[in-house]
Amino acid sequence: MKLYTSLIYRELKLTRKRFLLMLILFLLLSLMMMTPLILVFISKPAKGEESPLEMIPLFVGIVALTGGFMAGTNNGLQKADISSGWKRYSFVLPPTAKQQALSDLLLKLGYILFFGLLSAAFELVYTAAADYNKFGNKLYIYMLNIFLGAVCVVMLVDIAYSYIMMFAKDKNQLKIIGVIAFLGAGVILRVAGIFFNVKTPEQPADGDTLISDETINRFEAVLLSGKTSLCIFAVFAVICTVYFLAMWRSHERREP
Amino acid sequence: MTEYENAIEIKGVTKYYDGFTLDNISFDVPKGCIMGFIGQNGAGKTTTIRSLLRITDINSGEIRLLGLDHIKDETAIKKRIAVVFDELPFHDVFNARDMARIFEGMYPEWDNAAYMQYIERFQLPVKKKIGQFSKGMKMKLQIACALSHNAELLVMDEATTGLDPVVRDEILHIFMEYLQNGERSILMSSHITSDLEKIADMVTFIDKGKILLTGYKDEIIEQHGILKCDKDKIQEIDAEDIVSVRTNNFGAEVMVHDRENASYKYRDCVIDPASLDDIMLYYVHRDMKEWS
């Protein structure tokens, strides 16, 4: 336990600045998403009139999505460890690769829990203030699905990035690998765009809209389903395992 | 805890790189001893140290630290050794107190009181960020961390390089204190041979990935000598007595590896004692035989 306290203390201290920046951005965005509430108080729409409160699910989704991205994103620890020489030094320290990987995972889970709770708190305040309870728990499921979905996607990118990072042993190699990773990500996105035939603004779907109402409804139904939550939880568990294994491999890999 | 005779045993270690090979090297560091590991830049000192610390994997050979296998017993070994690199591997955002918090969970025998004593002795600020430390302060902090968990073996890779003579002397003095109970050992790589002449009991000399000399420092210094003669006299000296010959405008200086024997054989020549620096210099040029 003392060992993990030490390892996590080090990692927390190193990622503190990045975390604070993300927290500020998140809070700013959350405040911005409160505008419909403020507008309702100012304009007081008449009965039957389209209320800004109709936008609440969208804004809850945006906040959850942002929280998920911030929680799952790379925390820059590996890069900092390579630059400072700590990565090399860690080979001569008693913690094993497995213990270090577990500490990395615990930190990541800590961030996920923190931003998850923050997103949930935002939704709680939002729905309470707007008396927006017609969805009941559905809105929480919706938020959870978006949040964890975003976490999974970003963690996948992080795993790939961390795996590539493993091959860098000093600052110079770090720069080269960073550029390769950036270009590689661009190529992958481009290929994925061709493969999944993503529609560009020049190719509208039905009528003049990019996405049809039917698609939106279907997407909404998926996001509001408890089954989706179970699936995302399963995927999340798998991704956490893969993350742990990638970190383990990264800590275990010796210099050539 | 295992009983052991040699703190480090390296047997037939080979490590291949593109353009460099650590070639079947073997040497021991007896318990309670300071071993100076010398050689010019690129000779293989750092590769040897990285191999024995398992920062890099070796291609063949066997390494034992504190009587334990360096791969099989890696975790057990790492609790009982300390390493000091030429550059401080700690993040700039930390301070001396943070480092104590980090290490106290990692080392079962971490001694906070000993650490704070070293910090005080080195006059290091506790709350100042490491990024604002001078080179000497950084090295002192690294040494304070290395000496505060009762390590039985201290491995140092060019730890005194880049430090001024006052700081170097202070650090060497601390190493001597550290060794006083006879249970601890030090492997210290350096190309500053004057430091090693001050404190090392033994010396291992590596060049181009091969061990050229290993043994007690005093014996090595005693055995070698610099024979001074005229250039035309060189022909009379047996090739097998010569390490290499340095020529200048006034004559020649010949490094002999058996000073006693040479003083009998070449009675008309003056043989001066050699320093570690001289020995290193003449051995580095051994393939040229004659150099200036």
Q: Which residues of B touch A95 (CB under 8 A)?
A: 106
Q: What is the dihedral of CA B194, B199, B202, B203, to 10 degrees?
A: -20
Over residues B69-86, mean pLDDT: 94
**According to the model, what pLDDT value does residue A134 have?**
64
**According to the model, what pLDDT value does residue B2 have?**
66
Q: Does residue B37 carry a pLDDT above 60?
A: yes
**Are B106 and A6 an interchain contact pair (Cβ–Cβ within 8 Å)?**
yes
Q: Which residues of A touch B50 (CB under 8 A)?
A: 255
Give the C-alpha separation, A182 to A186, whole Å.
6
Nearest chain B Cα distance for residue A62, angstroms: 34
Does B262 reach chain A within 8 Å, measured CB to CB? no
Does B20 reach chain A within 8 Å, measured CB to CB? no
Segment B281-285 long-range contacts (CB within 8 Å, at least 24 positions apart): B282/B226, B282/B243, B282/B244, B282/B246, B282/B255, B283/B205, B283/B207, B283/B212, B283/B213, B283/B243, B283/B244, B283/B255, B284/B40, B284/B207, B285/B244, B285/B246
Cβ-Cβ contacts under 8 Å for B127 (sequence gap 6 or more) = B95, B96, B97
Nearest chain A Cα distance for residue B167, angstroms: 23
Residue % of chain A over a pLDDT of 70: 82
Give the C-alpha separation, A98 to B255, whole Å.
53
State ipTM: 0.90
Q: Does residue B1 carry a pLDDT above 80?
A: no
Among left, alpha and beta (phi > 0; psi -120 to 50; other), residue A85 is left
- By residue range, what is the domain housing residue A236? 2-43+51-252
Residue % of chain B over a pLDDT of 90: 68
Which helix (DSSP H) or strand (DSSP E) does residue A95 occupy? none
A228 with A145: CB under 8 angstroms? Answer: yes
Tens-place pLDDT, residues A91-124: 999 999 999 999 999 999 999 999 999 999 988 8
- Top pLDDT among B67 and A206 is at B67
Tens-place pLDDT, residues B225-250: 999 988 888 888 888 889 999 988 88
Reported confidence tier of residue B267, pLDDT bands at 50, 70, 90:
confident
B222 with B269: CB under 8 angstroms? Answer: no
Q: Which of B16, B56, B84, B157 to mutate to test the interface with A (most CBs of A within 10 A)?
A: B56
**According to the model, what pLDDT value does residue B25 have?**
95
Q: Which residues of B touch A13 (CB under 8 A)?
A: 93-94, 98
Over residues A21-28, mean pLDDT: 93
Does B90 reach chain A within 8 Å, measured CB to CB? yes
Domains of chain B: 6-214 (3.40.50.300), 224-291 (no CATH)
Nearest CA in chain B to A88: B55
Q: Which residues of A touch B78 (CB under 8 A)?
A: 92-94
Provide the edge-to-edge strand list for the sheet that holds B6-17.
B20-30, B6-17, B60-65, B68-69
**Longest alpha-carbon distance in chain A:** 71
Q: Of chain A residues 89-108, which have a CB less than 8 A from chain B?
A: 89, 91-96
Nearest CA in chain B to A86: B89
**Are B102 and A85 an interchain contact pair (Cβ–Cβ within 8 Å)?**
no
Q: Of chain B residues 97-136, which have a CB less than 8 A from chain A?
A: 98, 101-107
Task: List beta partners, residue B189.
Answer: B37, B157
Instruction: Count Cβ atoms within 10 A of the Cβ of residue B268 and give its class: 0-12 exposed, 13-18 middle, 19 or more buried.
Output: exposed
Domains of chain A: total: 1
**Alpha carbon A165 to chain centroid distance?**
20
**Are B106 and A256 an interchain contact pair (Cβ–Cβ within 8 Å)?**
no
Over residues B92-105, mean pLDDT: 95
B222 with B259: CB under 8 angstroms? Answer: yes
**According to the model, what pLDDT value does residue A162 have?**
84
Tens-place pLDDT, residues A168-220: 766 677 778 778 777 877 787 777 677 665 555 555 555 556 667 777 777 77
**According to the model, what pLDDT value does residue A197 have?**
59
Cα distances (Å, whole numbers) of residue B37 to A43, B58, B141, B200, B214: 81, 19, 23, 9, 9
B94 with B129: CB under 8 angstroms? Answer: yes
Dig out the tokens for A174 from the structure: 């770090």
pTM for this model (two decimals) = 0.85
Pick from B286, B230, B288, B206: which is nearest to B37 by CA?
B206
Among left, alpha and beta (phi > 0; psi -120 to 50; other), residue B155 is beta
- Cα angle, residue B88 at apex, residues B82 and B94 outer, rounded to 5°: 100
Q: Of A7, A84, A94, which has the smallest distance from its Cβ to B79's Cβ?
A: A94
Q: Does residue A164 carry a pLDDT above 90?
A: no
**According to the model, what pLDDT value does residue A209 have?**
62
Reported confidence tier of residue B70, pLDDT bands at 50, 70, 90:
very high
- Cα angle, residue B153 at apex, residues B147 and B158 outer, rounded to 5°: 75
Reported confidence tier of residue A48, pLDDT bands at 50, 70, 90:
low
DSSP A197: T
Q: Which of A77, A84, A103, A255 to mutate to test the interface with B (most CBs of B within 10 A)?
A: A84
Residue B172 DSSP SS3: helix
Place of tokens 């996948």: A156
Give the C-alpha separation, B202 to B196, whole Å.
9
Nearest chain B Cα distance for residue A10, angstroms: 6
A105 with A240: CB under 8 angstroms? Answer: yes
**According to the model, what pLDDT value does residue B232 have?**
83
Over residues A50-57, mean pLDDT: 68
**According to the model, what pLDDT value does residue A215 have?**
76
Q: Which residues of B touch A12 (CB under 8 A)?
A: none
Q: Which residues of A touch B87 (CB under 8 A)?
A: 85
Reported confidence tier of residue A223, pLDDT bands at 50, 70, 90:
confident
Give the C-alpha separation, B149 to B143, whole Å.
11
Cβ-Cβ contacts under 8 Å for B185 (sequence gap 6 or more) = B7, B8, B29, B30, B31, B32, B33, B34, B35, B152, B153, B154, B179
